[in-house]
Amino acid sequence: MTESTTNVDVVIVGAGFAGMYQLKRMRDAGFSAIVIEAGDGVGGTWYWNRYPGARCDILTVDYSYSWDPELETEWTWSERYATQPEILEYANFVADKHDLRRDIRFDTRVESASWDDGANRWTVSTSAGDIIAKHYVMATGCLSVPKVPDVPGAGRFQGEVYMTGSWPHEDVDFTGKRVAVIGTGSSGIQSIPIIAEQAAQLTVFQRTPNFSIPAHHGPIAEDRLVEYRKDPAAYRAEAKVSRIGVPFVPISEISALEVSHDERIAAYEETWERGELGHLSPYSDLGINAEANDTMRQFIHGKIRDIVDDPTVAETLCPTNHYFATKRPCLDTGYYETYNRDNVRLINLQSDPIATITETGIDTSESMEFDAIVFATGFDAMTGAIVGVDITGRGGESLRDAWAEGPMTYLGLMTVGFPNLYIITGPGSPSVLSNMMVSIEQHVDWISDLIEHMRSEGLDSIEPTQLAQERWVQHSNDIANLTLLPTANSWYMGANVPGKPSVFLPYPGGVGAYRAICDEVVANGYFGFALSGADGTSTNDGVIRGVKPDVATLLAAIAELELPAIETMSVADARAFMQASAELRPPGPDVGEIVDGMLQGADGDLAYRLYRPTSDGPHPVAVYFHGGGWVLGSQESDDPMCRDLCVRSNAVIVSVNYRHAPEARFPAAADDGLAAVQWVAANADELGVRADLLAVAGWSAGANVAAVTSQQAKLAGGPAIIGQVLLNPATDCDFSRPSYTENADGYVLTTALMHWFWDHYCDVDQRSDPKASPLRAPDLSGLPRAMIVTCEFDPLRDEGDAYARALAAAGVPVEHLQAQGQTHTSTGAVDVLITPTATREAMGNALRGMFGANVHA
């Protein structure tokens, strides 16, 4: 410790809008705090980004603080999208009003930060000395580190060189000069029209065209301010729970493909004329459906062709390698019109790449001389400012190394191994997919409340648990993967920085949903965190959003219907209800042939439905038993699932309608299962299948029948079954397992419903019979190899896991897939849910593996 060492409660890096508000909250709570700022003024992004045309792309009435109600009347924005100078003036106004500068160390850079496990303190080394602090807040912003231009010869040019992300503070005059602009992202699109007005000649070097719509600058329209003026507090409150942090943005439930061409064009024209990022999706599926998105993409292509006179230039400006809004769309002022100027030229780097920058200009297939080069090459977004500092956490681990394969955070706020390190709008939070001001305030408030909580509880440190962090990253990726966002090589994916891991960085679930999650974490005692104090460490481990996002959406939609519970119905009503529900589902993929027939069961005929692949036979065959708790269902009830399994396995699927309870109680279903496989094996030639390649499969109670059938066939000496694929099998009558409590309700199949099923099917004193509970068989050896799927949010999970372990212990080859985030019914939702697709694919592959190389390709 040196004489220049300072001790404070909180050290904050960055004096932008995040750092300023964080300082205000800490002061108000009675903490000592210091802000470290590399520049000589406040404003963050708006301090550094002074390039011509720099503006906000969120209406400035929305892109402003809400925590000081007096600002609503003390400050009036001159335009709907304020320019950089006006936004910086606003930042300075706030700093002066709240006397923030006295706790900001300007012209100071953070050189390193290290955590001391023994002292529970951070040592932050800066160019002006060390700071010791209990809490370390990174308020460095998502777009604060300009990307080093990855252009050959970038350092050779002897003329004027500028970067849009670190523009000089003095005026730059391009009058009469030959100027090159490299890059057509947001900063390029904003600056190019202004530079073109000054320069004698402007040459734009474009690697990838971006979508842009006109900003229609000027005063904010009166109709846009109606809700705000009516009740500013309510307006701000609405922003906090909205999808992107902009209030009163309608969310459409209509597909772009459901309306006529003329209706779509009218909606897109309105979007074009409105010019707001919050109103870019007049239809529900532009972000998730490529065909729907292409209607908007082609509309904007048409606009570009209408505006730009030269057809070749217009086509070069039309984005074709990514879908609309998979990169952040730009707002412009006359951008496309600029290419109609005689002094502007566009170079397509896809067809004519830069060979090198020279001392006097740029060489492509020709040599061009310039007086100035502007690099509008973007930022090392979201992580650059964080890993750019040497941050060392618990056990000497560096954050740079911890994030080597991509950033790992919990809620985008904290990361494992780095106690009391907080990241405002970090990777894994809505950040750049939102109105940043709303997201900044939410993070600052959450962090501040946490720090106050730690003080009141006498806690020394907090960090996420490994499980919570891993599953949060997975949850964020799951949502992204349901959209078109990851299909673009965007800075959302880190794709603009060579060598940077390609992972989706922001949280795409929406501002309101994210806020609810953060609030829930707090309400549940900082769920997913380990908190340490004088009394030791308390770990509140768990997963805050474990259900896959598409499954969760479906569950929410079902809950909104307020349907009666099946276990409250009569059997007849339950069957009618299930039949009606089945008629609403998508049919599943096409197969080569579907044949309905009858087979000989244990006590009379049983209906079956056969699904045949399109390839030539004879095929392997899997006898499939449907779900429905031994009470509900038929040979048709799992139709989409059977179609899917037929296509993926390239095998014939024979779905059998075994007898149901309560009319035919135990062991009727089990006896019918054995009779069905015996009949299929005996009639293989007539069915066009191979008796030597016979497997069984089933779901839920049907998986119970399939498992029992495998055991009974072994005891009966045949037929030979080479494999069993069991999806969420009921294998035991024991309700004491944790999954019956953890997943008792809310996931379609409930614990109460399982009691209803068992009560209809089997007397209590019979349930221990292996023909009812196959897990209780005295000898599981010699059974066919198995593929067992269990789902995380299923009452039957634990008994399925137990059966997989028991088979493996008996020497049976077992592939056990534990489907994370899935429910008992989600895997069968073919063409409804996306995330269970991998499970169905694994089931199909398992059957192929069981049948071996004899399956036709």
Q: What is the 3-state secondary structure (H, E, C) of 482-521?
A: CCCHHHCCCHHHCCCCCCCCCCCCCCCCCHHHHHHHHHHH
User: What sign for the dihedral angle of Cα 471, 421, 431, 253?
Assistant: positive
pLDDT per residue as tens digits for the range 761-798: 999 999 999 999 999 999 999 999 999 999 999 999 99
How far is 736 from 171, CA to CA, in rounded Å? 74
DSSP 8-state class, residue 630: T
How far is 722 from 720, CA to CA, in rounded Å? 6
Query: Which residue, among 135, 174, 28, 738, has the nearest Cα to 420 in the 3D structure?
Result: 135
Instruction: Look at residue 731 and tell me whether its pLDDT is greater than 60.
Output: yes
Instruction: Give the mean pLDDT of 746-765.
Output: 98
How far is 558 from 577, CA to CA, in rounded Å? 14
Strands 785-793 and 723-727, sheet pairing: parallel
Looking at the whole model, is its pTM more than 0.85?
A: yes
Q: Reduced to 3 states, what is the DSSP secondary structure of residue 71?
A: helix
Alpha carbon distances (Å) from 530 to 413, 416, 451, 541: 14, 10, 14, 7
pLDDT per residue as tens digits for the range 50-69: 999 999 999 999 999 999 99
Alpha helices per DSSP H over 524-667: 549-561, 571-582, 639-649
DSSP 8-state class, residue 222: G
pLDDT at position 498: 73
Instruction: Look at residue 143 and tell me whether its pLDDT is greater than 80.
Output: no
Q: Reduced to 3 states, what is the DSSP secondary structure of residue 669?
A: helix
pLDDT per residue as tens digits for the range 510-519: 999 999 999 9
Could you identify the residue written with the tokens 């580190």?
145
Band (495; pLDDT cuts 50, 70, 90): low
How far is 511 from 573, CA to CA, in rounded Å? 42
Q: How many CB atoms lie within 10 A of CB 702?
A: 31
Q: Reduced to 3 states, what is the DSSP secondary structure of residue 678?
A: helix
Query: Which residue, among 307, 51, 76, has the nearest Cα to 172 in the 3D structure?
Result: 51
What six digits make up the tokens of 444? Answer: 């600052």
Angle CA 134–139–143, to nearest 5: 155
Q: How many CB atoms lie within 10 A of CB 537?
A: 13
Query: Which residue, among 46, 64, 67, 47, has the nearest Cα to 55 in the 3D structure?
Result: 46
Query: Which residue, among 355, 415, 351, 360, has the nearest Cα to 383 in the 3D structure?
Result: 415
What burial class does residue 238 get, using C-beta atoms within 10 Å of its C-beta: 0-12 exposed, 13-18 middle, 19+ buried? Answer: middle
Torsion of CA 504, 506, 510, 513, to 10 degrees: 100
Band (5; pLDDT cuts 50, 70, 90): confident
Instruction: Give the mean pLDDT of 67-85.
Output: 94
Contact 468, 529 (CB under 8 A): yes
Query: Which residue, among 459, 585, 587, has the nearest Cα to 533 in the 3D structure?
Result: 459
Taking all residues of the chain, what is their mean pLDDT, rounded to a whole number? 95
Angle CA 818–823–824, to nearest 5: 95
DSSP 8-state class, residue 142: S
How far is 425 from 505, CA to CA, in rounded Å? 11
Instruction: Give the mean pLDDT of 454-468.
Output: 97
Residues 6+ apart with CB under 8 A from 118: none
Q: How far apart are the first and last CA of the chain?
A: 71
Contact 812, 841 (CB under 8 A): no
pLDDT per residue as tens digits for the range 267-307: 999 999 999 988 888 999 999 999 999 999 999 999 999 99
Band (1; pLDDT cuts 50, 70, 90): very low
3-state SS of 710-753 is HHHHHHHCCCCCCEEEEECCCCCCCCCCHHHHHCCCCCCCCHHH
Query: Which residue, among 598, 663, 645, 699, has the nearest Cα to 837 in the 3D structure?
Result: 645
E strands of 6-128, at which residues?
Answer: 6-13, 33-36, 104-105, 110-116, 121-126
How far is 100 from 24, CA to CA, in rounded Å? 7
How far is 462 from 10, CA to CA, in rounded Å? 14
Contact 616, 857 (CB under 8 A): no
Contact 47, 88 (CB under 8 A): yes
Residues 6+ apart with CB under 8 A from 245: 58, 62, 239, 430, 434, 435, 436, 437, 438, 439, 511
pLDDT per residue as tens digits for the range 526-541: 999 999 999 999 999 9
pLDDT per residue as tens digits for the range 580-634: 999 989 999 999 999 999 999 999 999 999 999 999 999 999 999 999 999 999 9
Give the length of the chain: 857
